Structure 1
Amino acid sequence: MLNGLKTLFNKKSVDSKFGIALRSQAGSYALDKGEDTDIQAGEYFTETSESAGDWLDDLLSSHNFQGSGHLVLSASHYYNVQINKPDLPDNEIPSAIKWLVKDIVPIDPDEMIADYYDSPVIVSGTQKINVVCSHLTSLKKYTDSFKRYQVDLEGIITDEFAFANLLSHRKHSTLIICQQPFEEVFLIIVKEGQIYFSRRLRGFSDVGGYSTEQLSKGICDSLSLEVQKSMDYFERILKQTPVSEIKVLLPVKHENFIIENLDKNTNAQVSKLDLPSPFEQMRNCAASVGGLIEFERKGAEND
């Protein structure tokens, strides 16, 4: 994902690995220095967007990051749009896509950095691609921090892929309901390790602030309705087999209550998405854990 960004960084061989996830305000990290006692995760916050790069500098210096890993972009840092795959040789598509989406994405092509991935399904006989775009100047604030501290940034992924990494490989279709603090809720359908469908749910960013009484008076029903609509689209429009299970990753006080209500309102089995050891209790850092897993997965593929 976003392989073109790799040319911005210097590479070096190290044992430790990390995932750092951006949010609309600061972010989180997951760090594995190669020993059981050196595995940690946490959050960083900032009050203003102007200091967005400062927290990363502080994080990289105070935690002595010396490894390789991935940066995870939250929904507020990128656009993801689906278009028909252009009739071009594959090696020419990367340089052309920014001009193909310039009227869809509110970023000037000269200021845009973009990459794409193929959709695993053909819709109405047409091959689709998903184009991911971000502001180059904004991203450079973060990549410059990695350069300053000589930390090897292996690549950049979006939070959709980070969340999907948390799901062990399954042949059947699984819908993930996931969120990180202060961000929108995501619905993602994964099958055999590929993302078939992803959708941001507007209006649910404050789901963690509701009481069980408020949740039972419409919030859970509304969430169930959006889940059902997404599963119907997956089955009827994308012509896929029905979703057989729903995994929930909502780092909020009443997560279990939401799961119980969703289980009553849907046909699929609903359960909590557990994080891998030793990050089980760090659900608010799930995206950065997914970034850490991305590095491990890429390493396994290259072995």
Structure 2
Amino acid sequence: MLKGLFSKSSSGCLGIYLRPDYVALAVFEGGQLVSNKSVSIPSSEQWLTSISQLVSETGAKKLPVSLAISPHFYQQLQVDKPNVPNDELASALPFAIKDLITESVFELAIDYYDVPPVPMMTEKVTVVYSQKSIIQKAVDVMAELDLPINNIATEELALTNLMTAEKETQMLIHQVQGDDVVVSIVRDNMLYFSRKIRGFQALGQQVEPLDTFLMDGLGLELQRSLDYVIGQLKIADVSKILLAVPGESGDLIASNLSETLDRKVDVFQFQQQGVDVNAMPAIGAGVSQ
């Protein structure tokens, strides 16, 4: 779990997903998702206007919010956990990463979350860093709309909240329209591993017949991730694979991948109807833990 600025969401009535090209909002009542909406925007300069519009449409004014921000606005890397007391760890992070990045640490908002322990490996943390100006913009927008912020999550951690991976290893294959495919490995409700698979932006636009070259390439990359679970993470093999991609061909893509990987791939299902795959990070940010 991220320890400060960026964290897994714990509670709240709103989840908001911030991207440079659209924003999505999810409304919860009594811990249940009751509404989800998204709107396209030309740039992050329209966050205030677009979120105000969504809040007005849903009647979700002055409710606490958990934010998820897209990877466009942050980077992350794993480092050995600094050998300092836990209450000093946050202040030690800039020194741990300053030689590994090109940005000035003084211009960054920096936080971390623990990497689940792996046998025979040094204890590590995943450091997340973003330009302070981006985080401040998000904070200012929420303040302007009188939406108190509970916490801020990375996209990967927001999606982890939607998994029910207790005592089993699950893989989530997720894509926002036009973006890279993101693969996450979750076990015991902890994010063990995530990676972007580039070159498959057209996946959500597939129709029958599927592009054989594209699907074979994706299958190969997914198999590499499955092999990594056993070979490097040293945890139990993936027992459930879930697919969440935009478009109307989810079942067709899942069936194709099931044949390629020789294991069942299921389309991610929500209990509620009418859930937009592109709003999943907003839902994950706002879902009760």
- TM-score normalised by L of structure 2: 0.89
1:210-229 to 2 correspondence within 5 Å? 210-213=206-209, 215-229=210-224
Q: Equivalent residue for 2:179?
A: 183
Cα pair 1:180 1:287 within 8 Å, conserved: no
Match of 2:250 among 243, 255, 261: 255
2:31 equivalent to 1:18:
no
Q: Equivalent residue for 1:73?
A: 69
| Runs (5+) with no aligned partner, structure 2 | none
Q: Equivalent residue for 2:5?
A: 5
User: What per-residue deviation string (whole Å, max 9, x for no partner) do you get for residues 83-142 of structure 1?
Assistant: 111111111110121232223334321111111111112364311111111111111111
| Runs (5+) with no aligned partner, structure 1 | 7-14, 298-303
- Superposed displacement of residue 218, structure 1: 1.0
- Between the aligned partners of 1:279 and 1:158, the Cα distance in structure 2 is 25
Letter of the 2:127 counterpart = V
Q: Cα distance 1:169–1:237, how it changes in 2: closer, same or farther (>3 A)?
A: closer
Q: Equivalent residue for 1:197?
A: 193
Match of 2:130 among 134, 148, 162: 134
Letter of the 1:47 counterpart = P
Task: Single out whichever of 277-286 and 156-165 deviates more from structure 2.
Answer: 277-286
Task: Single out whichever of 168-177 and 224-233 deviates more from structure 2.
Answer: 168-177
Q: Secondary structure at the match of 1:130?
A: strand
Q: Secondary structure at the match of 1:122?
A: coil
Cα pair 1:173 1:243 within 8 Å, conserved: yes
2:257 equivalent to 1:291:
no
- Superposed displacement of residue 196, structure 1: 1.1
Q: Secondary structure at the match of 2:134?
A: helix
- Superposed displacement of residue 33, structure 1: 4.6
Match of 2:260 among 250, 265, 279: 265
Cα pair 1:53 1:145 within 8 Å, conserved: yes
Q: Cα distance 1:111–1:51, how it changes in 2: closer, same or farther (>3 A)?
A: same
- Between the aligned partners of 2:242 and 2:17, the Cα distance in structure 1 is 21
Letter of the 2:216 counterpart = D
Cα pair 2:47 2:141 within 8 Å, conserved: no
- Superposed displacement of residue 72, structure 1: 0.3
Cα pair 1:80 1:132 within 8 Å, conserved: yes
Q: Equivalent residue for 1:121?
A: 117
Q: Secondary structure at the match of 2:137?
A: helix
2:39 equivalent to 1:39:
no
Match of 1:29 among 7, 12, 25: 25
Asked which structure has the greater RCO (Cα within 8 Å, sep 6+), the reply is 2
Match of 2:232 among 232, 237, 248: 237
- Superposed displacement of residue 53, structure 1: 4.3
Q: Secondary structure at the match of 1:204?
A: coil
User: What per-residue deviation string (whole Å, max 9, x for no partner) do you get for residues 236-263 of structure 1?
Assistant: 1121221122111112221111101100
- Superposed displacement of residue 210, structure 1: 3.3
Letter of the 1:237 counterpart = Q
Task: Single out whichever of 160-169 and 218-227 deviates more from structure 2.
Answer: 160-169
Q: Equivalent residue for 1:9?
A: none
- Superposed displacement of residue 48, structure 1: 3.0
- Superposed displacement of residue 232, structure 1: 0.5
Q: CA RMSD in A?
A: 2.3
Identity among equivalent pairs (%): 28
Cα pair 1:26 1:44 within 8 Å, conserved: yes
Cα pair 2:205 2:246 within 8 Å, conserved: no
